[in-house]
Amino acid sequence: MLKKFTAPERRHLFFVLSVCMLLSTVASTQVVVNPDGSETIGTLPTGNLPMPAGSQPSITVDFNDLGPEQVVASDRYIVLGLTIETSLGDVVEGSFNEVPCDGTRSIKTASFTGPFLLRFPHGVTSVSLDAGDIGPSDSDIITVKAYSDDALETLIATDIGSIAQGAPTGCVRLSVQATDVALIKAVEITSEGVYVLSSNSPSGVSSYPNSIFVDNVTFAPAP
């Protein structure tokens, strides 16, 4: 025999059923990034969702696929949207040892004449990288310049890091961002290296330009 519910019981049962239905379709509260870049607390359905339209995952090239002093062809990473060049007749190659940035393979120029030139044929919205040296050694002032053109005529961003003379093996993290009107098409990496033998004599100063290593190049493709 079916039980007849009293009016208070029917109201309670309706409330419980309503809550259950709400929980089955509830949206999780998350931080939502608006098109203008601001953040708001919004709701997104639970479960696996496609990435928002226009967003692109970042790509990192860590050079761990290279062997010791293996020459890097300029188009080795072209399928990822990156080419690597240098100047002054030098070539880019894998580091001999798995140092200095994170204990894995990095890249250098064969005779440390550089500079490095990273090109992004399709344009990117940001670039970050690790650059450094094996210490204790010369001081290094490392500069990363981003250009919106292949001819390196339109500079749109710069970042500078430094490593003191005698510092232990290590790297600094440098990054550049595109502007609202221009993507990054090329990034140039240079360094000024100086080793001071004696503070009392100019002859005790040696210069080592572009004697650095580069690793973990991370970039965000344009949407």
The pLDDT assigned to 204 comes to: 79
Q: What gap in Å lies between CA 221 and CA 223, rounded to an integer?
A: 6
Residue with tokens 């990117």: 124
Average pLDDT for residues 52-56, to the nearest whole number? 52
Q: Where in the chain is the domain with CATH 2.60.120?
A: 59-221
Q: Do residues 106 and 131 make contact, with C-beta atoms less than 8 angstroms apart?
A: no
The pLDDT assigned to 14 comes to: 53
Average pLDDT for residues 20-49, to the nearest whole number? 37
Structure confidence by residue, pLDDT tens digits, 105-148: 999 999 888 899 999 999 999 999 999 999 988 999 999 999 99
- Reported as a pLDDT band with limits 50, 70 and 90, residue 4 is low
Residue 166, phi-psi category: left (phi > 0), alpha (psi -120 to 50), beta (remainder): left
- DSSP result, 201-214: -GGGEEE-TT--EE
Structure confidence by residue, pLDDT tens digits, 166-204: 999 999 999 999 999 999 999 999 999 998 886 665 667
Structure confidence by residue, pLDDT tens digits, 195-220: 888 666 566 788 888 999 999 999 99
Q: What CATH number has the domain spanning 59-221?
A: 2.60.120
Nearest residue to 223 via CA among 83, 82, 122: 122
- Reported as a pLDDT band with limits 50, 70 and 90, residue 7 is low
The pLDDT assigned to 51 comes to: 38
Q: Choose between 37 and 11: higher pLDDT.
A: 11
Mean per-residue pLDDT of the chain? 81
